[in-house]
Structure 1
Amino acid sequence: MNIIFDNPHSALEGLLFDGMFIAAGGFGLCGIPELLIDAIREAGTKDLTIASNNCGVDDFGLGVLLKTKQIRKMISSYVGENAEFMRQYLSGELELEFNPQGTLAERMRAGGAGIAGFYTKTGVGTVVAEGKEQKTFNGETYVLETGIVADLSIVKAWKADTSGNLVFRKTARNFNPPAATCGRICVAEVEEIVPVGSLDPDHIHVPGIYVHRLLQGQHEKRIEQRTTRAAA
């Protein structure tokens, strides 16, 4: 079955609906599915719940969906680079569920592995644990976190073969692999698609069984905080 699509709009055709739950890969602006995000913006799909490490910046990444008021709720770890996020949250326009980064990654991984929930010490005694079941193991308190299963996963990889096996580079591995596995449907955008057999099986980070649609594109790869020094 051919899973390769010509552009992000065709790759998302028939998958988007108002009120849907999306898991998005990336860390900061590294490894974000920027082409698919722009296609969702252009589609106008609204009332979205999105699980992602962060919400991009004001004019790039998931921040473009905030600007158009398409996001109803964010499940995130870090939101400090987005002024519009802060404005919408403080004004009551945006719902926010904070998750520690490791907990959020594990919630995605658990959902993809068919695990309904798990106990963790992270967040005990903080607002993160409020309203959640807590249990004692070996004299220590743990909080129950639920696995995430999204309607759609959108991720960005470095390479893929024509069967959808994915390889990520460096920081892009932080959230993309667990995000890819926790969606009922996964759409991946990549920099390069190679023939089956071109990738070393030991170097594949997400098996193609998780990937339903694939597209190749050109990416801006914007740097979130550029720090330089004068030449010596």
Structure 2
Amino acid sequence: MTADEDKLGITQKQVEQFHERLLTLIGSEVKKDFAEKVGLTYSGLRKYLPPNNSKPTLDKLVAISRYKNVNLEWLATGLGPKDSETGQHSLPGELGDVLVSSDGDVFELVDGYHLALDGTEGDWESQQVRRKLAFRKKWLEWRGLKSDDLKIYFVQGPSDSGSIRNGDSVMLDTSDTRPSDGVFAIKVSGSILIRRLYLKIDGGADIYIENKSEPEENVSKEELDNIEFVGRVVWLGKDM
């Protein structure tokens, strides 16, 4: 086992066994039909099967995992549960920060963490990276976002944040912590809460739970200055 394999908990043998996992997913389905469903030609699919046993690129892995609703980490490495728990197609932590698809699209990986939004306190700042989600670099640039400033939190447990539910994924821009109109993650007594903010002319703000018509709280400018803003919510992924 190499040093990298030991660090990741992934062996070369597990990676080489991709064709076995692929055959499991194909099952009794006609291979030509399976190939069409994931955007491959029949000959393209055969490259991943014995005796060729080639390895697919990221975009093909994502297409297969989405079609069969399986965990992308399991599909790529054999690690983790087979079934996708949240519908998020993510990669294990400790991978590189940039991936290139077969058609030349560049993807940047954003660190993902587990987060409880149930009002309980937690040492969220010291959490380990649990997954990485891939986003097109062009999309990040179009949004004016830098991957180094982004964090994704996989929401666990009940939430009073309105539109955000258990199993959702929330991406924060941690460089954007200046109060303004928008949705922010704020730290309250060690907990992380997601709230919508509307500034008032007097410098204070109305703070809303998402999807609520009445503000949860009205704060003065002095009170607003004492609120710790973790980052602005710039993307929300939901399991439909």
> What TM-score results when the alignment is normalised by the length of structure 1?
0.25
TM-score calculated relative to the size of structure 2? 0.24
- Which structure's CA Rg is the greater one? 2
Q: With CA pairs under 8 Å and 6+ residues apart, which has the higher RCO, 1 or 2? A: 1
